[in-house]
Amino acid sequence: MTTNVRLGFLLIAAATLILADRLLYLLWRIVRFQRSRPGLQVETLPILRWFHRRRKFQVEPTEIRDFVVNLELATSLGQTLAGALVETAEQFANRGVFGQRLKRHVETRLVLSPEDVIRGLIEDFGSSELIDLLTRLERARSGGTSNVEVLALSVEAIEDDIRVKVERDIQRAPIILTIPMVVGVFFVALVITTYPLIAILLESLF
């Protein structure tokens, strides 16, 4: 029985190696084809262009909070919202993708309006915090509320959301940690229980 079991595992291992070899060969062919076509980019493939257009960058709520805090500080010192965006874009230029996209939109959209810069960031990141900020800014423009008040309110709302998320993660932590432990114990018990059956099956086959 031991010999048959070993033979079965060897066959499974051999099949896995063959499949891995085929996949690596396919990957090599794809890379070689792309190198032979330098003008071909993944985004240009029709079937993938649709997904590429809809890809959203990722940004943490804390990054949005820091962005709004900078705007609030600049406007409280007498800067216009446009001036605050220019200053903040310079400060955030080296802070990853968010800073890069912010600087890009300030350079291309600020001539239209400060709100257009926020719209560009929303298109990039799909952030609910940025959507709320834009809504408040548009209402402030028609309602006479100052930008400083709007930005202060936005900072407070974002910090509340961050606090709620942290508290929720803390409450969920025991459950998140327990599930892998239970699955691990169950998997080991399942392997121990089914091993004799697998051995008998392999013995009958070989």
pLDDT in tens, 15-47: 555 655 666 666 666 655 555 554 444 444 444
Please indicate, yes or no, whether residues 101 and 142 belong to a single structural domain of this protein: yes
Please indicate, yes or no, whether residues 86 and 16 belong to a single structural domain of this protein: no
Report the C-alpha gap between 158 and 62 in whole angstroms. Answer: 8
Please indicate, yes or no, whether residues 2 and 77 belong to a single structural domain of this protein: no
* Residue 126 belongs to some domain of the structure: yes
Environment class of 119 (CB within 10 Å of its CB; exposed 0-12, middle 13-18, buried 19+): middle
- Of the residues 127, 147, 163, the one at which a domain ends: 163
pTM (global) more than 0.85 = no
* Residue 191 belongs to some domain of the structure: no
* Residue 24 belongs to some domain of the structure: yes
Number of domains composing the chain: 2
* Domain enclosing residue 72, as ranges: 61-163
Which amino acid, residue 131? I
Report the C-alpha gap between 17 and 6 in whole angstroms. Answer: 16
pLDDT at 168: 84
pLDDT at 14: 53
Please indicate, yes or no, whether residues 147 and 69 belong to a single structural domain of this protein: yes
* Residue 172 belongs to some domain of the structure: no
Weakly modelled stretches of the chain, pLDDT under 70: 1-55, 173, 175-206
pLDDT at 57: 84
Please indicate, yes or no, whether residues 81 and 156 belong to a single structural domain of this protein: yes
